[in-house]
Amino acid sequence: MADTPTSKTCPLPRDAVADRYFMENRAKLLDIAAFLDRLDRSETPADVGEDFRIEAMRQAMQMLIDEKGDRAKRVLELFSDPTAEVIGKAPMKGAAGAYKPAAE
């Protein structure tokens, strides 16, 4: 992995980072695995495409293993709305958690 401006800013050695954060992140991965298993077991009509949120999650998981660095920034940008135009009215109350491009 190439050094990036943020690649050497953690004051802890790698083994200390693993010691401190491994179990917490192991649990998060198990949560994601359980979520994906529930999706696999769910009933989905054949004519329905993949949900935009699930597609974004799959893309984010690929980013986690690509070793290109700045993963948190890239994943956040993936889930974020890249448009700058102000909309008149929100399409729903709350947030979807991922950006859904307008239908073409």
Cβ within 8 Å of residue 78, ≥6 positions away: 56, 59, 60, 63, 98, 99
pLDDT score, position 48: 74
Does an H or E element contain 44, and which? none
Question: What are the extents of the domains in the chain?
Answer: 12-42, 46-82
> What pLDDT, in 10s, does the model give residues 1-46?
455 555 578 899 999 999 999 999 999 999 999 999 999 898 877 6
Which two three-digit tokens encode residue 42? 């769910």
Question: Would the pTM of this model clear 0.85, i.e. be above it?
Answer: no
Confidence of residue 101 (pLDDT cuts 50, 70, 90): confident
Confidence of residue 99 (pLDDT cuts 50, 70, 90): confident
